[in-house]
Amino acid sequence: MGKTIIEKIFQKHTKDEVSPGKTIWIDLDVRSARDFGGPNVVKHYEREYGDTPLENPEKTFFTFDLVAPPKNIKYAVNQSICRRFAKKYNIKVYDVDAGIGSHVLMEEGIIKPGVTAVGTDSHYNIVGAIGAFGQGMGDVDITFIFKTGKNWFEVPETVKINIKGKYEYPVTAKDVTLYILKEIKTSFALGRAIEFYGSAVENMKLYERITLCSMVTEMGGIVGFIPINKEVENEIKSFTGKNDFEVINSDTDAKYEKEITIDISGIKPQIAAPPHPHNVFNVDDLKGEKVDTIYIGSCTNGRTEDIETVAKILNGKKVKEGVILSIVPATKRVYRELLEKNILSQLFETGAIILNPSCAGCAEGHVGMTGEGDISLNTSNRNFPGKQGKGKTFLVSPAVAAASAITGEITSPELFM
Amino acid sequence: MKRETKIEGKIWCITDEKGNLIDDIDTDMIFHNSHLHITDINEMGKYAFGNLKGWEDFSKRAKKGDILVVGKNFGAGSSRQQAVDCFIALGISAILAKSFGAIYKRNCINSGLPILEYPEDVKIGDTGDKVLVDFKTGEIKNLTKNLFIHAKPFSKVQMEIYQAGNLFNFGKK
């Protein structure tokens, strides 16, 4: 019988027979810990395994992206604990200058199509965008993998989501993603792998796939895949110039637990209001609501094209007085591309604050925090109450964020077309 | 030493102001990101549910051996182990959920914290009820109300890790 993408990737990494519901042991090609989770991993490792070596330091990484550079002594201490451990065991560190770990590891060609990768980041499944298996894990799991190189997995069922219809600007991949979340919430895909089909998603460029695949976490899914076409394959190759990977697509007779068709024809720009990422409305429904702070970036929307979209809308205009607009490129590579394209200087002139690559506004980062009564627009992926302070966080596309930065209220980018 | 596969304890039903179990409780509500720098488990208990409306003082009210009863997709969100460890620190003896977030589920199993999933359309009881939980059979008996609920029993790997204490000990066997 045929296999789905996750089943095929798993099968290449285990001697066990892969089928949904079975517990199998998988070899992990890439293992990483961040400045969050990382110090806990070090502590567990030293307690459980003492001075004994890691399974394979070359497959092991630290990526400091959560609070980078450290904004307080506690994070400085935690990062320094990880650095010392890394030095002792010869582990590569992508330090506080590098950017979001999952993105950096894709750009470096370390996470590539067909590999299995795990890290202390719940959006690690973002690497589904390049056809890799990624799973966020807690520090116990990651410590165990640092030592052994493998771990147990219960093979999940795979569900199929067919996207019917097309979208065009100002509707973006983020709006499509939020719309899917609105339709399936967290129950349809909970604990399952997702495969997305339909021309709208299959024609997505890599940065758009990153947006969709990152929010599989908010759909409750393990990981999401979109069949990889030649264009995306070339985009992946362009990171390193190497052609050292194999794209894995599903078998034609693969078995899916269930499928759903979602029609996106005619959808408008979308916005997720608190308390959940799946609490989604048309931007027009919340039009005019005053905005205090805007954060553009994160693993969901921090790519060069995302920020280019923002620059196009803001070009020659100013950020509304009293509104804080923070822009955070996902990685150093993105930052450099934006510098070379002169986009950062354009954005500087609009009054935007441009920060160094990191996870920034997600978790208790440097930007996007709110006080009571504040409204925050965020291009990231979570808006749970209290996460970023006592204010309210709404999730939007970079285009909606940029349009709203100009007016100072929730605004559809249609106004600036 | 074999760990108990049957436990008895008082339940806490994590409900909203209308008395309904809260679904989609995210790890930021269980253990807020402002405490992520903490690596000592003894420091974690006091922050449990610190960002969940109506439950901010849970750590002061919970007693060792208590059992949590929660709704769907419990522990959605972040991979932070602290969202599991904070309950271990308080001595919570099991979590009974309609369903768990995928990463959270792994984190519980690997830390040896007993978890069971029970059917969505079933009510286990009310806060303060005494229940008996059998990890082997998945049977939950509400001793206060004399109700029987059939949950999914421990999986094989879950039982092995639980009996070993945690994933580390399991791996050293």
Ordered structural domains, chain A, with CATH:
5-154 (3.30.499.10), 158-239+254-263 (3.40.1060.10), 270-416 (3.30.499.10)
61-100 of B, contacting A, C-beta below 8 A: 72-73, 76-82, 84, 99-100
pLDDT of residue A363: 74
Q: Do B80 and A276 touch (CB under 8 A)?
A: no
B41 occurs within a structural domain: yes
A281 residue type, one letter = F
B1 occurs within a structural domain: no
Å between B71 CA and nearest CA of chain A: 12
B23 occurs within a structural domain: yes
Nearest to B28 among A36, A140, A387 (CB): A387
Q: Do B168 and A74 touch (CB under 8 A)?
A: no
B89 occurs within a structural domain: yes
Interface check for B56 against chain A (CB to CB < 8 A): the answer is: no
Least confident of A127-131, A361-365, B140-144, B163-167: A361-365
Interface check for B32 against chain A (CB to CB < 8 A): the answer is: yes
* Confidence tier at B2 by pLDDT (50, 70, 90): confident
* Confidence tier at B173 by pLDDT (50, 70, 90): confident
Backbone φ and ψ of B15, nearest 5°? -115, 165
Å between B78 CA and nearest CA of chain A: 5
Task: Enumerate the residues of chain B whose CB falls inside 8 A of the CB of residue A39.
Answer: 37, 39
- Mean pLDDT, 10 residues at a time, chain A of 417 residues: 96 97 97 96 97 98 95 94 98 98 98 98 97 97 98 98 98 98 96 98 98 98 97 97 96 97 98 97 98 97 98 97 98 98 97 96 81 96 90 97 98 96
Q: What is the ipTM of this complex?
A: 0.95
Interface check for B106 against chain A (CB to CB < 8 A): the answer is: yes
pLDDT of residue A106: 98
Question: Which residues constitute the domain of residue B70?
Answer: 6-172
A-B CB pairs within 8 A amount to 120
Instruction: Identify whether A69 is preceded by a cis peptide bond (ω within 30 of 0).
Output: yes
Cβ B88 vs Cβ B165: under 8 Å: no
pLDDT of residue A289: 97
Residue B163's domain is classified under what CATH number?
3.20.19.10
* Confidence tier at B102 by pLDDT (50, 70, 90): very high
- Report the domain count for chain B: 1
Å between A76 CA and nearest CA of chain B: 10
B103 occurs within a structural domain: yes
pLDDT of residue A218: 97
Q: Do A122 and B77 touch (CB under 8 A)?
A: yes
Long-range contacts of A105-111 (CB under 8 A, 24+ apart): A105/A30, A105/A32, A105/A61, A105/A63, A106/A130, A106/A132, A106/A236, A106/A239, A107/A239, A107/A240, A107/A331, A107/A333, A108/A239, A108/A240, A109/A239, A109/A240, A109/A242, A109/A244, A110/A30, A110/A61, A111/A30
Nearest to A138 among B32, B33, B107 (CB): B107
pLDDT of residue A387: 87
- Tell me whether strands B130-134 and B6-13 are parallel, antiparallel or unpaired: antiparallel
Q: Do A66 and B76 touch (CB under 8 A)?
A: no
Cβ A239 vs Cβ A328: under 8 Å: no
pLDDT of residue A74: 92
Interface check for B113 against chain A (CB to CB < 8 A): the answer is: no
CA distance A172 to A345: 25
> What's the whole-number mean pLDDT along residues B23-41?
94
Q: Do B77 and A386 touch (CB under 8 A)?
A: no
Å between A311 CA and nearest CA of chain B: 31
pLDDT of residue B1: 66
